[in-house]
Structure 1
């Protein structure tokens, strides 16, 4: 099969970096058209630099990086330095990126790319708040019918929230954007906390990255070592969840995941449950299906895939 043409919309923290690297390490499977960057884990200036740093680390400085929205549609920006560190990529010292940020706005790049390429050929992989994608849909509604699928990390059902009791971070940061995207009629694949919490970054798994005889393996081991310390303290677990790479892994190996077609609605009005993903798992409403909601995976196969692909990186 030809590679999937994909735009990765992201707010690079440690787990975004792993997701980007997994896509880069799979050149037979993905044509990465560009990274579109949004504020989220840290402010936009840092997420833009982090995207460039990760691509240069992985030997792909040719992939363009576009700066996008620096704040949510309506809410004040909430960031997560308490999780990712002040840079968003704490755990490793990477040199300042050398390749300039691509000219133009991320939203314009999404619109122009989707409209100029054949219908149904540009997949969006969303790893952060959905602000860029929502603005693109609002500015050019015709792209909705041309996007075959959005594969996104966000939301939760049985796991509750990780930024509030009710909400997962990516959806919470810009619930209005999420509501627009979820209502756009584009097929969605949602990788929520329900599945990401089932694949912990245990010390043994991190050591598999550290043992790789390249620069990327040990570098990403350092990122994962830093990222897990917050979740270990929070959840009382050994290791922490590895959220964003599951989007790319699902596109590569959907057979190692399982879920259900459901309706998901986004709460935007309540201050108590802002950003909650209301998942109609048992079909108790007449709301139409709008997403494949993933709840389980073969976690060993997931890490086998990561290590196998990372071995091909520089």
Structure 2
């Protein structure tokens, strides 16, 4: 099977690190580059983090492009762990990867236009605020023809929010960009909190990341340094790794269930960033997204552990609770 040609648009971020390393450890994926946006932390830090993550794997051929430093319209908001900034060297060792001189939006435009010309559209895994993608679509609407789909981690329905009571962070950070992307006509696969919170990783999973060599050790460092548990909300120990689900869906879509529906985004007022899905066709509007509603927790966790292990010396890795390569 031909690998999925993808660009990851991200705001690294601990979860983003897991998703990027999962992609780089998966033969089913051809990662063309990283398009970086401000979000979890300011742009300078997200770019530095992205470069460190790529360097861990020795994949200097994967370019890192700096993009939007802030949202289209609203005031800047940062993630829960904004105080972390760039990953310090004790967590993620310094590497020799530096960002490309080409801006992330230019990279998206160039790559999608080339994909359209070759009749081989690419997938964008969007795991941060959607500012870069919105800018590309606004400035050059023709790039939509070069995008096969956008697999987006964002939004929340019955799960409600985690940065505010009503909004998931990626949509809250730039709801206007999300509104543009969701109404662009590009096929959207949406991973809301409702599904990402169904799979919780515990300390034993974080320790298992160490099997992935330097990359796995750094990932273990990150996840054991910042407590992601919330027993009051989740009802059991552990915490989610939201962004990696976008990569897992590409690799093993059978682990997921979802439905096609219309999704809207609130762009103003008290509930800015709130997402709603018309699951019962009350609005009579055409579906603009496939909303993922269920995940096989054991399968997803095992798949992520397996792909991180591939960065280490373990041959034909098989990890507890996991999927054998």
The TM-score bracket by the shorter chain reads over 0.9
How many correspondences in the alignment? 309
Residue 185 of structure 1 corresponds to which residue in structure 2? 185
Residues 38 and 150 of structure 1, relative CA distance in 2, 3 Å threshold = same
Residue 287 of structure 2 corresponds to which residue in structure 1? 289
More displaced stretch, 166-175 vs 114-123: 114-123
1:5-57 per-residue CA deviation (whole Å, 9 max, x = no partner) reads: 1111000011000000000001x211111101000000000000100000011
Query: C-alpha separation between the residues in 2 aligned to 1:90 and 1:103?
Result: 24
Q: Is the partner of 2:110 in helix, strand or coil?
A: helix
Query: C-alpha separation between the residues in 2 aligned to 1:91 and 1:52?
Result: 13
Query: C-alpha separation between the residues in 1 aligned to 2:212 and 2:141?
Result: 47
Alignment of 1:1-314 (within 5 A): 1-26=1-26, 28-80=27-79, 82-83=80-81, 85-87=83-85, 89=87, 93-117=91-115, 118-210=118-210, 212=211, 214-227=213-226, 229-232=227-230, 235=233, 237-270=236-269, 272-314=270-312
Query: C-alpha separation between the residues in 1 aligned to 2:66 and 2:185?
Result: 26
Gaps of 5+ in 1: none
Residues 214 and 99 of structure 1, relative CA distance in 2, 3 Å threshold = closer
Query: C-alpha separation between the residues in 2 aligned to 1:244 and 1:85?
Result: 20
Q: Is the partner of 1:214 in helix, strand or coil?
A: helix
Structure 1 position 207, deviation (Å): 2.7
Q: Is the partner of 2:6 in helix, strand or coil?
A: strand
Note if contact 1:34-1:63 (Cα within 8 Å) is conserved in structure 2: yes
Residues 205 and 60 of structure 1, relative CA distance in 2, 3 Å threshold = same
Query: C-alpha separation between the residues in 2 aligned to 1:246 and 1:179?
Result: 22
Query: C-alpha separation between the residues in 1 aligned to 2:7 and 2:295?
Result: 24
TM-align CA RMSD: 1.7
Query: C-alpha separation between the residues in 2 aligned to 1:3 and 1:175?
Result: 32
Residues 166 and 213 of structure 1, relative CA distance in 2, 3 Å threshold = closer
Residue 322 of structure 2 corresponds to which residue in structure 1? none
Residue 319 of structure 2 corresponds to which residue in structure 1? none
Gaps of 5+ in 2: 313-325
Structure 1 position 213, deviation (Å): 6.2
Structure 1 position 307, deviation (Å): 1.5
Query: C-alpha separation between the residues in 2 aligned to 1:101 and 1:91?
Result: 18
1:114-143 per-residue CA deviation (whole Å, 9 max, x = no partner) reads: 101223421111010000000000010011
Residues 302 and 127 of structure 1, relative CA distance in 2, 3 Å threshold = same
Q: Is the partner of 2:184 in helix, strand or coil?
A: coil
Q: Is the partner of 2:223 in helix, strand or coil?
A: helix
Query: C-alpha separation between the residues in 2 aligned to 1:37 and 1:125?
Result: 12
Query: C-alpha separation between the residues in 2 aligned to 1:142 and 1:63?
Result: 25
Structure 1 position 97, deviation (Å): 3.5
- Given the two structures, how large is their TM-score scaled by the length of structure 1? 0.94
